[in-house]
Amino acid sequence: MAAHHAAGAAPGPLRMSRSSRSKSSHRWLREHFSDPYVKKAQAEGLRSRAAYKLEELLERDRLLKPGMAVVDLGAAPGGWSQYVRQALGDSGRVIALDILEMPPLAGVEFLHGDFREDDVLSQLESLLDGQPVDLVLSDMAPNMSGVDAVDQPRAMYLAELAMEFADNHLRPGGAFLIKLFQGVGFDEYVRQLRRRYEKVAIRKPAASRKRSPEVYALGQGKLARMK
C-alpha cells in the first residue's frame, strides 16, 4: 500500500547510477505486473494488492464487526480502506489519513496531511469527536532511501506515533494492526506492544513479498492499564 511517505529530517535518497537505477526499476515493474495479487486486485476492482494482506490478517481473527469505527493511517491509494468499507457494509465509520492525496471512496472520510504534524493529528481527533476507535490500522512507511541506517529510524518513529495514537484513541479491548520493518528498535517495539495488549502476534501474510523486511504486528485486547 502506498505509504505515509515521510518527508525528511534525515538525508534524502542516495544517488544511484542511471544504469543501476533503470535495472532495479525494470525488475520491479516485471515483478509487479507478473504478481498474481496485482492481477487479482485489477480483476476485482481493488485499489491495491495490499488489500489481500489486510484480508488475511483480519479474517484470521475475525476482527471486523458491523458498526465498528476504524482508523486507517497511511491509507493511500486506499486499498485497506476500500476493503474495510466493503466488509463493514453500511455500518460503522472508516477514517483514512495520508500525506498523499487519495481519490475519494464512498463511505470513507479522508484527511489529507502529515501524521507527524500536531495540527493534522488535531484534525483527526476533531473528526473522531471523542468517539473511541475499535480498530487502528497503520500501513505507514517513510520514503525509502535504501540506506537502512536512515530508513529504519524513520519507520520506527512513525510506528511510535501510531502506537501513541492507539494509546489515546483505541477503546479498551480494541485492536491495533501495524506494519513494521525488522531491524533496530523492532524487538523493543514489540515488547512495548505486549505491555499494552492481551495478545500480540507477528505475522507475514502471503501477499507480502518474500524479500521485503516488512511484517505486521497485531495487538488484540487493548488493556485498560499498561502492564
179 is catalytic: yes
Asked if residue 25 lies in contact with residue 16, where contact means CB atoms within 8 angstroms, the answer is no
Residue 227 domain-assigned (yes or no): no
Q: For 98-119, what is each residue's pLDDT tens digit?
A: 999 999 999 999 999 999 999 9
Residue 55: which CATH number?
A: 3.40.50.150
The CA distance from 39 to 14, in Å, is 32
Residue 190 domain-assigned (yes or no): yes
DSSP per-residue codes, 167-207: HHHEEEEEEEEEEEESSTTHHHHHHHHHHHEEEEEEE--TT
Question: Which alpha helices (DSSP H) does the chain contain, by range?
Answer: 18-34, 36-43, 50-60, 79-88, 118-128, 148-169, 186-196
Residues 6 or more apart in contact with residue 108 via CB below 8 angstroms: 78, 81, 82, 85, 94, 95, 96
Place of cell 544511484: 16
Cell of 156: 520506527
Which entry of 23, 53, 65, 179 is annotated as an active-site residue? 179
Residue 114 domain-assigned (yes or no): yes
Q: For 78-104, what is each residue's pLDDT tens digit?
A: 999 999 999 999 999 999 999 999 999
130 is in an annotated binding site: no
Residues 6 or more apart in contact with residue 62 via CB below 8 angstroms: none
Residue 207 domain-assigned (yes or no): yes
How many domains does the chain fold into? 1
Residue 31 domain-assigned (yes or no): yes
Residue 6 domain-assigned (yes or no): no
User: Would you place residue 54 in the very low, low, confident or very high pLDDT band (cuts 50, 70, 90)?
Assistant: confident
Residue 12 domain-assigned (yes or no): no
80 is in an annotated binding site: yes
Write out the residue range of the structural domain in which residue 67 sits: 18-222
98 is in an annotated binding site: yes
User: Would you place residue 35 in the very low, low, confident or very high pLDDT band (cuts 50, 70, 90)?
Assistant: low
